[in-house]
Amino acid sequence: MRTNLLLAASLLFASSAGAAEHEGKAYIAEHGYDGPRTCETCHEGTARKFLDTVHWKHASKVSNVEGVDPRQEWGMKNRIYTFCNGNDLVNNLKEIPANEKGKTKLIGCNSCHPGNHLSDVGSTGPEAEQAIDCLVCHSSKYDYSKRRPYKTANGQVAMGQDRSAEAAMAVGKPAVKNCMTCHEGAGGGPLVKRGFAFDAEHDAHAAKGMVCVDCHKAKDHRVPTGFDPNTWANDGVRLSCADCHPGKPHKDQAYDAHLGRIACQTCHVPGAGGAVAKDFTRWTKLETGFYEPSTIVRAPSEAMPVYAWFNGTVVNQPHFIGPKGSRTDPRSKIFPFKIYEGKAYYDRKSGQLLAMDFAPPTATGNTLAGVASAARTMGLKDVQPVPGWQTIYFANSHLVTRQKALTCDKCHVPSGGRLDFQALGYSKAEIEKRRLMSASLWFDRLLEKELKKDE
């Protein structure tokens, strides 16, 4: 009762202090911060609901990918593909064996999971609820030096959290850095996996001062996401450019005429970045004595996307993960994708891709030891690892630009254009008839624009 009165008084005080300030700030200042227990004083039931989101489970039921059981949950918790070649199960956060210099470290795919690792991916119950690191996403004064893995007194590997009152008093809508702390670091280093920087230099939305959650606006911590051949888990809420830019958003009708079959990203995200290829069968030794997967990385916008029809469903084969769609499918549009190729081990007998536990190769470079360890974790027997390649199409939906968007002359040209019209299903005769690869299609219109620009 006393707590509630104090809280009410705090809220009254806070609301008069200013709308931007978190209403519970005074309460936290007086009572300190005790993790989700404190948050739940006002946000009752939120922790329990959060346990049922992709951020906590690293998985969800998936209905748009071929060959996966739609009754099971899939995601970085359990998927095997050649960008990561492991998952939360085989690469659970742990201490790796000592390298030749006698050094060890604590690493694992689930090091970004917003729990404390003692309550881990997909855990449930009161203990899990209290393990949630609300502030890592919601505080603008989070001390990230506290969010490090460490060993507890009984030898368990746990993830530290900043539960200081100072951090708790600075809660609010997640800022870009709250999201990017994890989302830029996936896949082996900063901007390696997705390869986009969300800053004013690289993205039109960021340049306008927008933050990630302005588009990925969550409800009950369910975060809307777009369709992506390589991101399967979702919170059941989808997002598209048209949510904010509906109808005919261009001044030029010719551009609007593209919208039926061309995704916004095709013109407005002309570059890609991040890793374009990795070899998990051959790790590179670092000066620290540790090894890492051999990786070729490109800066944001440095790589060229490829273009393909996509209807939101996904081809999922051992050597190919990519978009389904065609010109004849009315649900399909042409989208840009970042192409990635990964080399890893496949099982000679089954032809299936094998996962790798990174602990052994990180310490010694022995990749087959990593495959053997992962096989043990997954209960696979008698695997016969043979190297093979897999091609993956990543959605290319960030690095949005207005000024550098593709113009007519980037696609509709005799050679070297962005789009391979024949591969996309247009016959030579149609290309000729519609002048799809000729300046005669667009010259007058573009000239008029260029002249206006010069005025």
Tell whether residue 300 is a contact of other proteins (CB under 8 A).
no
Q: Which of 108, 104, 84, 86 lies closest to 370 in space, CA to CA?
A: 86
State in angstroms the smallest separation of the CB of 191 from other proteins.
8
Tell whether residue 189 is a contact of other proteins (CB under 8 A).
yes
Tell whether residue 274 is a contact of other proteins (CB under 8 A).
no
- Number of amino acids touching other proteins (CB under 8 A): 31
Residues 6+ apart with CB under 8 A from 256: 248, 249, 250
Residue carrying structure tokens 């340049």 = 207
Q: Which of 224, 269, 225, 272 lies closest to 392 in space, CA to CA?
A: 272
Tell whether residue 193 is a contact of other proteins (CB under 8 A).
yes
Do residues 422 and 415 touch, judged by C-beta distance below 8 A? no
* Segment contacting other proteins by CB under 8 A, of 47-55, 138-146, 324-332, 439-447: 138-146
Tell whether residue 284 is a contact of other proteins (CB under 8 A).
no
Touching other proteins, residues 54-73 (CB under 8 A):
none
N- to C-terminal Cα distance for the chain? 70
Nearer to other proteins, 198 or 227 (CB): 198
Tell whether residue 160 is a contact of other proteins (CB under 8 A).
no
Tell whether residue 166 is a contact of other proteins (CB under 8 A).
no
Q: Which of 1, 20, 69, 145 forms a contact with other proteins (CB under 8 A)?
A: 145
Neighbours of 157 (CB within 10 A): 18
How buried is residue 404: exposed, middle or buried, by Cβ count under 10 Å (0-12/13-18/19+)?
middle
Touching other proteins, residues 79-118 (CB under 8 A):
84, 91, 101, 107-109, 111-112
State in angstroms the smallest separation of the CB of 280 from other proteins.
14
Handedness of CA 249, 252, 257, 263 (dihedral sign): negative
H or E element, residue 97: none
Burial 413-446 (b: 16+ CB within 10 A, else e): beeebbbebeeeebeeeeeeeeebbeeebbeeeb
Tell whether residue 288 is a contact of other proteins (CB under 8 A).
yes
Tell whether residue 398 is a contact of other proteins (CB under 8 A).
no
Nearer to other proteins, 128 or 192 (CB): 192
Binding region for other proteins (CB under 8 A): 84, 91, 101, 107-109, 111-112, 141-146, 177, 181, 185-190, 192-193, 197, 199, 286-289, 292
